[in-house]
Amino acid sequence: MKLTLQTDYALRALIYLGVRTEGLCSIRQIAQAYQVSEGHMIKVIHRLGMGGFIETIRGRNGGVRLGRAPETILIGAVVRYMEEDLSLLACMEPDAERKADLCALMPGCRLRGVLSQAMGAMLGVLDHYTLADVITPHERQRLTEKAD
């Protein structure tokens, strides 16, 4: 499975904010730190704010910061929230049972169950890690150097 760029950027933004906890950060700072499009980062930050992962403060002195402690933000929860569709195959989509012509093997195919179990295992692993777990001393050094 490959995660979308939005999820990649969301995880990067959370890592940045998990390192830079001393105050508010700008979307521009985050985008520049990772050399990604500011336009994409705006969308990601908006979505993370809607999900309660970050706080966004509007206005001249506004910015963004984590919405809760890094130890409470599960990587699996971020991935589930950011990914609109975690179905590995079309037949695994929520309304697949209604599409009789989708696959000749439906509903008796065992592959769906195997792939569903694999996805569950991946998300289970991600649920064992928090944002605090993935912020290393290397990230702390790199992300504080770039902003200074």
74-108 tens-digit pLDDT: 999 999 999 988 877 777 666 656 555 667 666 67
Q: State in Å, rounded, how far the first CA of the chain is from the last one.
A: 36
Provide the pLDDT for residue 42.
96
Instruction: Output 89-94 pairs: Cβ under 8 A, ≥24 positions apart.
Output: 89/115, 92/116
Identify the H or E element spanning 17: helix 5-19
Q: DSSP characters for 44-60?
A: HHHHHHHTTSEEEE-ST
The pLDDT of 128-146, averaged and rounded, is: 89
What confidence score (pLDDT) does residue 116 get? 85
Query: Of 26, 28, 111, 10, nearest to 65 (Cα)?
Result: 26
pLDDT of residue 60: 86
Q: Which tokens in the block code for residue 16? A: 């940045």
Q: Greater confidence, 115 or 104?
A: 115
Contact predicate 90/102, CB 8 Å: yes
pLDDT in tens, 11-35: 999 999 999 988 899 999 999 999 9
